[in-house]
Amino acid sequence: MFNTTMHDMPRALQHLLEREAATPTEPPRRTFLKLSAVSGFALGVFPLLSQAQGSAAAPAALKPTQRPGAFVAIAADGTVTVTVNRLEFGQGVQTALPMILAEELDADWSKVRSQLGTNDMAYADPMFGTHLTGGSNSIKNSFTQYRELGARTRAMLVQAAAARWGVDAASLRTEPGVVLGAGGRRASYGELAEAAMAQAVPERVALKDPTQFRLIGRPTTRLDAAAKSSGQHSFGIDVRRPGQLTALIARPPVFGAKLQSVDDAAARAVKGVQAVLRVPLDRGAEGVVVIATGYWPAKTARDALKLAWNTSAVEKVDSAAQLAQYRALAAQPGPKHFDADMAPLASAPRKIEAEFVFPYLAHAPMEPLNCTVELSEQGATLWVGSQMAGLDGMAAARTLGLKPEQVRVLVQSAGGGFGRRAVPTSDYLVEACTIAKAAQTAGLRAPIQTVWSREDDLQGGYYRPMHLHRARIGFDSQGQVLAWDHVIVGQSIAAGSPFESMMVKNGVDVTAVEGMRAPYPLPMRLTVHHPKLNVPVLWWRAVGSTHTAFVMETLIDQIARDTGQDPVAYRLKLFGDAHPRHRSALQLAVERSGYGKKTLPAGRAWGVAVHESFDSVVAYVVEASVNGGRPQLHQVTAGVHCNMVVNPRTVEAQVQGAALMGLGMCLPGAAITFKDGVVEQKNFGDYTVARIGDMPAFNVHTVPSADPPTGMGEPGLPPLAPAFANAIARITGKPLRELPFKLT
């Protein structure tokens, strides 16, 4: 999601956090640590846990995010349930965070379980003070937090054993799931949990030396792997409440359009239809919602609606005209992000002039958007896969006319998201709440699940912005860049959002320029234009690096080729001594791939790229070919520097998944285009996503490190496309300037 902008995010979120903190919740007391194996641990019953520890037991200096009571439950049989403060949507946090906590708790891993949290402040990101799953920050920001939560819980269990045996706690030690004392004394965590509840929560705890880790760093099967691979895992779309109804919205063909007329007679006649209502939608649009007893009656009725739309007052974007507009803007003066002397450009002995075009991209998660809303006299409960449960809960409260503490957001697993479930407008939650409120007014008192179809998602959502880059580069025969004049044209993601004041600096949205120039010492002038168009845009996995990495790494590679230098050696020369993590990642990928040592089959070529995003560095060395005019990726070797690795299997899976998504950007049909304001793509039949058959042979290698972990949800995506493109350029002799690839 946020990448380098995370340095500014605390300030960007500040006024939102103040608003969230201004409405504190008073949660009911609940049992800490000890929960019977019969009753289990039902978060939905206890939505507000930020003070669940109890004021007598927890030091006032401890924030809700630091208190074990909301995070750890130990049953009589020793089962440890860890609550995860993030959305799990494929990135593996529902295993990695419990691993971190269990490491310091000294838990028996075979008895560790996990579940997702709520919009309670206990589950806010400890660095930013608000609920956030994004920016590849889950492990990075909660590493120390979950270690301390585990250590505090362990200390309380030890103290409970010391009190039981009348000995000094310092004389005791733990092994997985048990406290041990002199003379063969032992007590399981399950036995001690109730007594541990009465112990004071230590404000300060000593953490393990990393050399003592037995879980962190060990390849570990994900806790949700069995359920997901067998079809037993529940996602937000699987929520079923008693009497639940399903809602589908007929949306305008052009963003922001309003209804001119509605003929719903045929829709109302469909069996199972409970209501057909006119409702306001995101960005000032209007729509018609069909509420029925299930998805298919709702869809059948929606298809039967006869609607006329008034599009006269909204802009109708056309992709061809938009590209012409962007090209004209690129020739105009604009705000500068970098500014260097361009005088050497005119006299440079060698030059490159290049234009790059990147289309709109849809997030297209496997599970389309959905939100279940249940209204009651006490307030509202939402079941939803949210990346920002706190801010979404506030938006729901405003929509429903409730106090924030009357809204419970029960975070559900999501089948992907890639940024689409972290929307500043909370669009799909607001629509779901608007529908629930309208249905109640119409006399329907039932839980309502609002569902987006795949077509709704591709044609009515938010997109990765379209971008145009232009570069003029002057360099000498040694590859030394003398001047680099660069222009980026593309919509601002932050403009018009609560993040604008801090993420748009001097007229430049920092998400559009992240990944430019660094790590190369280049004399660059970077001009940026942010046109405003009637297309909603949002962060998309890896955000700005999805286009800046392609531009930087293909141009650096071209300079190496034009000056007869090996692309790896050229990059290492540019790094100098300033970027040891880039150097280590690239050298690891080169070493493990056999680059420069093994002979490739006829028709294949090497491709190289390295890029840092979200404080992690990923280098790719790939083997590719062109078969029948179609580029084909055969082998990928990754060198990764993400500091300490919590779960090697998670890192491997994230790099592979991100790379496959990066590969998808290269495939024909991987673009969202507009004609007369209407999105031309409707489903996966005409919007390409990478499939299992596109996946090359893949090897992931990590640089050993004892430093605190950095993010891995997104860094594997940006360098894949340029590495692939660089291999193709070596085969064809022509650099690729557009995504998806076009060889003719």
pLDDT at 292 > cutoff 70: yes
The C-alpha torsion from 196 through 150 and 88 to 395, rounded to 10°, is 70
Flag whether 321 is in a domain.
no
Q: What is the mean pLDDT of residues 668-674?
A: 97
**Alpha helices for 171-224 (secondary structure H):** 189-196
Asked whether 201 and 58 are in contact (CB, 8 A), the reply is: yes
181 and 266 share one domain:
no
Q: Predicted confidence band at 57 (pLDDT cuts at 50, 70, 90)?
A: low
Residue 269's φ and ψ, nearest 5 degrees, are: -80, -10
- Note every long-range contact of 54-61, with CB atoms under 8 Å and residues 24 or more positions apart, other chains counting: 54/29, 57/32, 57/197, 57/198, 57/199, 57/200, 57/201, 58/200, 58/201, 59/200, 59/201, 59/203, 61/203
252 and 134 share one domain:
no
96-133: per-residue pLDDT in tens? 999 999 999 999 999 999 999 999 999 999 999 999 99
> What is the β-pairing status of strands 463-464 and 361-362?
antiparallel
Arithmetic mean of pLDDT over the chain: 93
Nearest Cα to Cα of residue 51 among 75, 32, 73, 76:
32
Residue 289's φ and ψ, nearest 5 degrees, are: -105, 135
pLDDT at 408 > cutoff 70: yes
CA distance 475 to 16: 47
Q: Three-class SS of residue 176?
A: coil
pLDDT at 177 > cutoff 90: yes
**Residue after which a domain boundary falls, among 409, 431, 451:** 451
Can you say whether the dihedral through the CA atoms of 679, 682, 686, 689 is positive or negative?
positive
pLDDT at 33: 52
CATH number at residue 40: 3.30.365.10
308 and 339 share one domain:
no
Flag whether 324 is in a domain.
no
174 beta partners: 179
pLDDT at 20 > cutoff 70: no
Asked whether 418 and 87 are in contact (CB, 8 A), the reply is: no
285 and 355 share one domain:
no
pLDDT at 744: 79
Query: 694-730 burial, b if ≥16 CB within 10 A, otherwise e?
Result: eebebbbbbbeeeeebbbbbbbbbbbbbbbbbbbbbb
Asked whether 392 and 409 are in contact (CB, 8 A), the reply is: yes
Helices then strands, counting H and E runs in the chain, come out as: 20, 31
Indicate the number of domains in the chain.
3
277 beta partners: 289
539 and 569 share one domain:
yes
266 and 160 share one domain:
no
549 and 432 share one domain:
no
591-625: per-residue pLDDT in tens? 999 999 999 999 999 999 999 999 999 999 999 99
Flag whether 319 is in a domain.
no
280 and 156 share one domain:
no
131 and 210 share one domain:
yes
124-160: per-residue pLDDT in tens? 999 999 999 999 999 999 999 999 999 999 999 999 9
Flag whether 688 is in a domain.
yes
Q: Using CB atoms within 10 Å of the CB of residue 273, give its burial: 0 to 12 exposed, 13 to 18 middle, 19+ buried.
A: buried
Q: What is the mean pLDDT of residues 28-50?
A: 34
More confident residue, 735 or 9: 735
Flag whether 610 is in a domain.
yes
Residue % of the chain over a pLDDT of 90: 90
Can you say whether the dihedral through the CA atoms of 277, 389, 509, 419 is positive or negative?
negative
Q: Which residues contact 456 (CB under 8 A, 6 or more apart)?
A: 248, 249, 251, 368, 369
Nearest Cα to Cα of residue 108 among 175, 180, 176, 189:
176
Residue with tokens 């509420």: 291
Helix (H) or strand (E) holding 352: strand 350-358
pLDDT at 719 > cutoff 50: yes
Phi-psi label, residue 80: left if phi above 0, alpha if psi -120 to 50, beta otherwise: beta
pLDDT at 566: 98
pLDDT at 163 > cutoff 70: yes
642 and 495 share one domain:
yes
Nearest Cα to Cα of residue 75 among 39, 42, 108:
39
Q: Three-class SS of residue 407?
A: strand
Q: Three-class SS of residue 619?
A: strand
Residue with tokens 């040694």: 478
Flag whether 547 is in a domain.
yes
Q: What is the DSSP string of 626-665?
A: EETTEEEEEEEEEEEE-SS-S-HHHHHHHHHHHHHHHHHT
Compute and round to an integer the Cα radius of gyration of the chain.
27
**Residue after which a domain boundary falls, among 212, 229, 246:** 229
pLDDT at 2: 35
673 and 541 share one domain:
yes
Give the structural domain span for 501: 333-361+463-732
Q: Which two tokens stand for residue 366?
A: 């496997």
**Residue after which a domain boundary falls, among 197, 229, 261:** 229
Q: Which two tokens stand for residue 163?
A: 């009190």
Q: What is the mean pLDDT of residues 518-524?
A: 96
158 and 111 share one domain:
yes
Flag whether 325 is in a domain.
no
Q: Which residues contact 277 (CB under 8 A, 6 or more apart)?
A: 288, 289, 291, 435, 438, 439, 442
Asked whether 87 and 421 are in contact (CB, 8 A), the reply is: yes
Q: Using CB atoms within 10 Å of the CB of residue 7, give its burial: 0 to 12 exposed, 13 to 18 middle, 19+ buried.
A: exposed
62-82: per-residue pLDDT in tens? 999 999 999 999 999 999 999
Flag whether 280 is in a domain.
yes
